[in-house]
Amino acid sequence: MKNKAVFFDRDKTIILPNNNNYIYRVGDFYIPDEYIEALKNLNESGYMLFVVTNQGRVAKGYLTEQDVHDVHNYLDQFFKENGIEFKEFAYCPHNPDGNVEPYNIVCSCRKPKSEMIEQLIDKYQIDAYCSWMIGDSKKDIIAGNSSGLKTILVETGYFNSFDEADFVEKDISFAAKRILGFKS
């Protein structure tokens, strides 16, 4: 039997920036209490949870892969302490507009491409038809659609409208309610 999952973009989706700044390191973000409850409800309903995030600022020299790992390790511990299990935190450090080698390349893992999601689907035997992508950008929605997932655009980023999203919700607490109430 295949598993069901929810894939989340990271920045401005499950974590929100302090003072509208970019998220580079631990301390640059916060997680609203209602997000914790929403994630817990998804976990308890049998959904595997994943983060799939572009971190192209590595290629631009603004942060290192260690900075990305530090944030993911912090999130993993924080969520575990709150009874939430994320199976994996996947990221793409590439950006063809960057200046740091070897990251300044065109790759197949940077959203809107779907390799990051498709690798997780294969690795964890996920049924894409029963699974979802939640993100705050057009790139997230395109990657989710390309992977056969249902998609929810959340209005917590700069981009709050896109016709190709299956649904648009205020944030992940509303997105979780949509998922848990969805009948295909």
Catalytic residue among 11, 67, 136, 140: 11
Name the amino acid, one letter, at 70.
Answer: D
Residue 171 annotated to the active site: no
Residue 163 annotated to the active site: no
Which regions of 45-96 does DSSP assign to beta strands (E)?
47-54, 86-92
Strands 4-8 and 29-30: unpaired
Distance CA 136, CA 124 (A): 24
All residues at 6 or more sequence positions from 16 whose CB lies less than 8 Å from its CB, including other chains: 29, 30, 31, 32, 156
Distance CA 100, CA 118 (A): 26
Hey, which residues are catalytic here? Answer: 9, 11
